[in-house]
Amino acid sequence: MGAPARGLTSDAFVKLRSDLVGSTKLFAVVSMLLGVAAIALPYFFGTLAVLVLGGVMLASGIASLLFVIDVRKQGLPVSVFGPWAQIIAGVVVLFWPQLALWLVALLLGGGLILSGIIGLAALRDAGVVNPPLLRKLGLWASILLGVLLIAMGALGSAMLLGLVLGVALISGGIQQWREAELLS
């Protein structure tokens, strides 16, 4: 495909490229299998995603707090409120993921409801005599899905997160496979 890098023989270059293609295809298959598992078990993977987020928030808060303490030792007046808020939020999410999932359901559901209501009001205010049926159906579906998401609460948002994660993993795996095919 390309010229071998300086210092590599042609055979070593071909073997290196072959190894890279093989590992890329392996990661692609693992990603697609994890995506299928996330779609099959959306509640588990959605909760797992929130727990990972809580761990990242906690680690980031600790790192920020250590940085702020070091900066304060140098005489600069820096607030420790942000790092402590991040640490507390990370601990709460780690020990009570259902709260975070419920808040996600409330915010996403509320956003869907508002989006549908504002879209319907805009159609009415625009004075369109016969608005497209699919547009109206989409706006009403947005309202209904928002109400459903809020009604389902933490379970609904965990399932939604799991499904979105599954689709993202599958599409990422397909893209990795295509890139590996281009290299081989």
pLDDT at 158 over 60: yes
Q: Kindly report the pTM of this predicted structure.
A: 0.69
Higher pLDDT, 178 or 21: 178
| Band (151; pLDDT cuts 50, 70, 90) | very high
**Which pLDDT score is estimated for 139?**
95
Q: Distance between CA 115 and CA 151 in Å, rounded?
A: 17
| Band (92; pLDDT cuts 50, 70, 90) | very high
**Which pLDDT score is estimated for 97?**
92
Q: Distance between CA 177 and CA 183 in Å, rounded?
A: 10
**Which pLDDT score is estimated for 138?**
94
DSSP string, 51-89: HHHHHHHHHHHHHHHHHHHHHHHTT----SHHHHHHHHH
Mean pLDDT of the 130-138 span = 90
Of 8-12, 122-126, 153-157, minimum mean pLDDT range: 8-12
Mean pLDDT of the 104-122 span = 94
Closest to 63 measured CA to CA, from 83, 78, 85, 89: 83
Summarize pLDDT for 9-40 with one digit per residue, the tens: 677 767 777 777 888 889 999 999 999 999 99
Q: Distance between CA 110 and CA 145 in Å, rounded?
A: 10
Summarize pLDDT for 50-89 with one digit per residue, the tens: 999 999 999 999 999 999 999 999 988 889 899 999 999 9
